[in-house]
Structure 1
């Protein structure tokens, strides 16, 4: 399958030879499968356009006058021939300038054809992956719906005063969060076009279904995160230090919660398994500061900026599973909100009561006048 984009490029290349009186006609052929499945050179563009369509290369007479000749320039990459440029001209020898122009056109068309075929292959692969993802999302909803049903039944059996009721409620909240992720996958657009060489990387941002930009109270978004962190710390036998009070502000709370979720996940995965960790909050001079801190060991100085880059991980994460995208995503989200995400070492620089040898990832966000009302 030859794309319209490649056909347009071929037409442009052939039309540039309209000033060459020595040329009678040009044709570009591409190796395509025939009805029998065998590769055959098939004409996709001729110049001049009024030129009669020639028979397939394997058959037919040259259809040239006695004082004319035909030559073929292969479209190839190394040993692979993917097409040919047919040149019909007068019998006179080509000038060096004409030869260079024709060879240059053949080389350009070779590269363009290979890139076009590769782009189509990748696009087909992406489409197949999209279909598989849609199928998996559809199938995941069934066990998730069953799990939510069982959780709701369990909640009915737990008395209001039972201490275990809060755990069941948090479980139901996490299931609803999974539902939102599945919705975001379903609503995501098809894969974008491949970026050109040297194009700047676009920021890592969550889809709108997960990171809505409307202003809402922050506390309800943070409470499930704190419950999750407390449960994880309890399972790991670690001390979890929540803030004394959550800030009463309104902002893009969904995005803030996603940033903190990534920071908390990193803290539990990469800090000392027996150390303390917690969330610290400060509202000061029109800014909100939220820090996820741990008691160490401190991240090495040469890694403190590098770990914010995509695919980069520190020494402590080298032997663990992961993509190296968490901090890059968190920083890009912070900047999209007009804030910043920084690493402070040691954490006690923020407040004396925090760890004197640990790390603190500080999210700083501007608050407008209505945010604290």
Structure 2
């Protein structure tokens, strides 16, 4: 197996072929260094000019071919202290004319850089393949405890009496299990996708996999309800006030994406606000038929100089630097909001959103466009 890619071989043929008009060069052979599991490294031939079909042997460390002669000379393909390969030049003998020497040195330099990139690409491809195999294994293993979680929750649901006050808790467990399954399936689809997106020249929006976005026209109440249950449970465990909207407003669109935005905002509110500060979700219809969803907390207020930068990728406010996090939640939320035709902004204090909200703290307001008609 040739230890280089077809792209490198194509470049190699182009570089060597330019000497067709040079009578001072009889033949050129390019070797790459190969390190076997045991023993010293060897030089394997990967390309030659002219392509006369000669079968070229590998050059062992003690081979006489390594010794330069009047008619055979070697130009190393070296990166720092690492010998990547060599260019063997056969000529009639004598000193090379300066133009020929410069051309050969340029070809050797070009092949060195190309070979270095080719080997790095192979290393990264092998590493990526190994990571994908590990990820497939983890996704496979994740499904087992998730299935067990669903089974236990369903059994518990059956054992509860019809008037039990714990039905909502079990329903919340099942809703969270379904959400986790969506994430697992989305990861699985990304790993197994045969079509890899091209690397953009500039940063692109942090879009979610399609599986995590809801169908167009889905009622917002469906994915929002388990988020409210999760927030109420988190507040109860932490002993902090939680304010839920009295009634969910009818809105249709990409409700899965809206739920992801709200989930990120609620997570941030509970994680980064003061331990005993109140947290809430406020809903308010827009006059034009749109909808405003505001996740607010009771402080401390985010410093003014940080209020816009925290929406950048990897950016975090000073109050959250000592806590775990990636700084991607708000960037994802804003990109999703704009992808929906809406906007996400920070208002301080929450009373700027509504006089019913606290006079201190932070409010992240999501403005959504008018809902889709049910028949669309």
Partners in 1 of 2:119 and 2:161 — Cα distance? 64
Partners in 2 of 1:80 and 1:218 — Cα distance? 60
Q: Which residue of 1 aligns with 2:266?
A: 264
- Does the C-alpha gap of structure 1 residues 320 and 20 become closer, same or farther in structure 2, counting only changes over 3 Å? same
Say yes or no: does 1:298 pair with 2:323: no
Say yes or no: does 1:314 pair with 2:317: yes
Partners in 1 of 2:12 and 2:145 — Cα distance? 53
| Shift of residue 155, structure 1, vs aligned partner | 0.8
Mapped contact 1:250–1:372 kept (Cα < 8 A)? no
Q: Which runs of 5+ in 2 are unaligned?
A: none
- Does the C-alpha gap of structure 1 residues 298 and 162 become closer, same or farther in structure 2, counting only changes over 3 Å? same
Q: Which residue of 1 aligns with 2:150?
A: 148
SS of structure 2 residue aligned to 1:23: coil
Q: Which residue of 2 aligns with 1:324?
A: 327
Matched ranges for 1:158-237 at <5 A: 158-190=160-192, 199-237=201-239
Post-superposition Cα deviations, 1:145-193, rounded to whole Å, max 9, x if no partner, equal 2221111111112122221111111111111211222222222245886
Post-superposition Cα deviations, 1:183-215, rounded to whole Å, max 9, x if no partner, equal 22222245886976x821232222111124422
Say yes or no: does 1:345 pair with 2:348: yes
| Shift of residue 256, structure 1, vs aligned partner | 0.8
Q: Which residue of 2 aligns with 1:123?
A: 125
- Does the C-alpha gap of structure 1 residues 50 and 280 become closer, same or farther in structure 2, counting only changes over 3 Å? same
| Shift of residue 257, structure 1, vs aligned partner | 0.6
- Does the C-alpha gap of structure 1 residues 61 and 174 become closer, same or farther in structure 2, counting only changes over 3 Å? closer
Partners in 2 of 1:214 and 1:37 — Cα distance? 63
Q: Which runs of 5+ in 1 are unaligned?
A: none
Partners in 2 of 1:371 and 1:307 — Cα distance? 36
- Does the C-alpha gap of structure 1 residues 100 and 296 become closer, same or farther in structure 2, counting only changes over 3 Å? farther
Post-superposition Cα deviations, 1:79-136, rounded to whole Å, max 9, x if no partner, equal 1111111222233533333323322222222122122212211221121111112112
Partners in 2 of 1:338 and 1:266 — Cα distance? 23
Mapped contact 1:73–1:84 kept (Cα < 8 A)? yes
- Does the C-alpha gap of structure 1 residues 369 and 97 become closer, same or farther in structure 2, counting only changes over 3 Å? same
Q: Which residue of 2 aligns with 1:103?
A: 105
Mapped contact 1:311–1:324 kept (Cα < 8 A)? yes
Partners in 2 of 1:41 and 1:101 — Cα distance? 23
Mapped contact 2:231–2:266 kept (Cα < 8 A)? yes
Partners in 2 of 1:264 and 1:49 — Cα distance? 67
SS of structure 1 residue aligned to 2:26: strand
Mapped contact 2:310–2:316 kept (Cα < 8 A)? yes
| Shift of residue 286, structure 1, vs aligned partner | 4.0
SS of structure 2 residue aligned to 1:298: coil
Scaled by the length of structure 2, what TM-score is found? 0.90
SS of structure 2 residue aligned to 1:28: strand
| Shift of residue 138, structure 1, vs aligned partner | 1.5
Q: Which residue of 2 aligns with 1:246?
A: 248
Q: Which moved more, 1:118-127 or 1:218-227?
A: 118-127
- Does the C-alpha gap of structure 1 residues 371 and 101 become closer, same or farther in structure 2, counting only changes over 3 Å? farther
SS of structure 2 residue aligned to 1:188: helix
Partners in 2 of 1:156 and 1:138 — Cα distance? 28
C-alpha RMSD of the superposition:
2.6
- Does the C-alpha gap of structure 1 residues 244 and 277 become closer, same or farther in structure 2, counting only changes over 3 Å? same
Mapped contact 1:298–1:346 kept (Cα < 8 A)? yes
- Does the C-alpha gap of structure 1 residues 15 and 213 become closer, same or farther in structure 2, counting only changes over 3 Å? farther
Scaled by the length of structure 1, what TM-score is found? 0.90
